[in-house]
Amino acid sequence: MREDLLHFIWQQKVLLKHELKTTDGKRIEVIKTGSLNIDAGPDFFNARIKIENTIWAGNVEIHLKSSDWIKHKHHTDKAYHNVILHVVFEHDLDLNIPTLELKSYLSKNLLENYHLLQQSALRVPCQNIISLPERIKLELFLNRLSVERLEQKCVALEQELIQYQNSWEKLFYVTTAKYFGMKINAEPFIQLAQNIPAILFAKHKHNPTQINSLIFGVSGFLPVHQPDNYTEELEQEFLFLRNKYNLMQLNKSVWKFAKTRPANFPTIRLAQFATLVHQSVHLFSKTMEAESLQEVKKLLLVVPSEKINLNCFHHANHILDPVMGEQFLNHLVINVVVPIKFLYGKHMLNESYCEQALNWLEEIKPENNGIVKFWKTCGIKPNHALHSQALIQLNQNYCTQHKCLNCVVGNHILYQHV
């Protein structure tokens, strides 16, 4: 038993259907539970409680046992002098304070389910006893989670923006590179972007061969064992540019190919990234000013040059399709364009940017990752990316941390047995 369950029971008014009495037999009517206090002092401020015929206004303190009042030295703290009700799970010490003992009001099933949720080692604590609330409640919760996830992304992006001396263009450039690497190659893509300043690309923007040589050279893929004519040209260009700009190369071994579909091979993504760098002019400002999702995707969609033979960078031949798929374009919009546009809107005090970012998530099909697939088996089927992002947030920030009392599904399971 933990106090957070008692906080939940009190705050959610789940016991109000019972006829409540103090430990000395006086009738209790909860008019207002009060506001949860997350700082020092009583747990709930400004409550209104009717005891017999008298209405009291003040604070409520919650403990597992009555004796915790003395154990925590509240009797010597003036902050607790205005406590009008002491709510405890077990009454084990008489104090000169009206006390409500919850033990006799709580059902055995509620306590057992709470224990199961808190002690579960499963991926999702409630998956064996899951019960979903009505759809409208679930959708409201998912909407809240999606905004919460977006806000969390913005906190991280804000820190990076400060690191880049408030350069939105660099933030967009490095973040784009990160998500070209997907999850498995995100870090080497970030290092690549850090090692090639965007201003260097600007100097050679007129020459796609030099852009390719910079990308594949700094990433560590040049020189190759058996080059063709174009790859030899890339090697010569990079040798010149590396000496001119004193460029650092990554170790080729940092790039991961194992357990990766050919479409996500880092060489494919590097070729696409090089083409995007070459073809894009003022990409950050254009994506911020874009009015539609289709316009954004058109800005991001690129096809690498046919000159480049990507199999030169592999030990085996593969049939490689360099064309960006719809799923990857959605991945870039969800993880790069939407959060940066949302953050930019907040900075510029432009609510339309924030609304547009959220609307675009609703236009994109839901992601099809392991987390989303699992929730589908539980009966939660997202209709769009706004809700698939919410399910990722639910899994990562609630389920894995056993925050069942803050989850509408966990609440529903417990409510059934109040």
- 3-state per-residue secondary structure call for 92-107: CCCCCCCEEECCCCCC
The DSSP bridge pattern shows strands 20-21 and 27-32 to be antiparallel
Q: Which of 180, 157, 120 is nearest to 300 (CA)?
A: 180
- Residue 112, CA atoms < 13 Å, CB-side half-sphere: 6
Determine the pLDDT at residue 305.
Answer: 87
Question: At 201, which helix (H) or strand (E)?
Answer: helix 198-203
- Cα separation, 187 vs 190, whole angstroms: 5
Per-residue model confidence as pLDDT tens for the chain (418 residues): 789 999 988 988 877 778 999 999 999 999 999 999 989 999 999 999 999 999 999 999 999 999 999 999 999 999 999 999 999 999 999 999 999 999 988 888 888 899 999 999 998 999 989 999 999 999 999 999 999 999 999 999 999 999 999 999 999 999 999 999 999 999 999 999 999 988 999 999 999 999 999 999 999 999 998 899 999 999 999 999 999 999 999 999 999 998 888 889 999 999 999 999 999 989 999 999 999 999 999 999 999 988 998 888 876 677 777 889 999 999 999 999 999 999 999 999 999 999 999 999 999 999 999 999 999 999 999 999 999 999 999 999 999 999 999 999 999 998 876 6
Residue whose pair of structure tokens reads 């190369």 in the numeric block = 249
Distances (CA, A) of 24 to 19, 82, 95, 100: 14, 20, 11, 9
Yes or no: say if 121 and 93 are a contact pair by the CB < 8 Å rule.
no
Q: Which of 397, 352, 364, 363 is nearest to 149 (CA)?
A: 397
Distances (CA, A) of 67 to 64, 88, 91, 94, 336: 9, 10, 8, 8, 53
Question: At 389, which helix (H) or strand (E)?
Answer: helix 385-394
Amino acid at 221: F
- pTM for this prediction: 0.87
Residue whose pair of structure tokens reads 């009454």 in the numeric block = 91
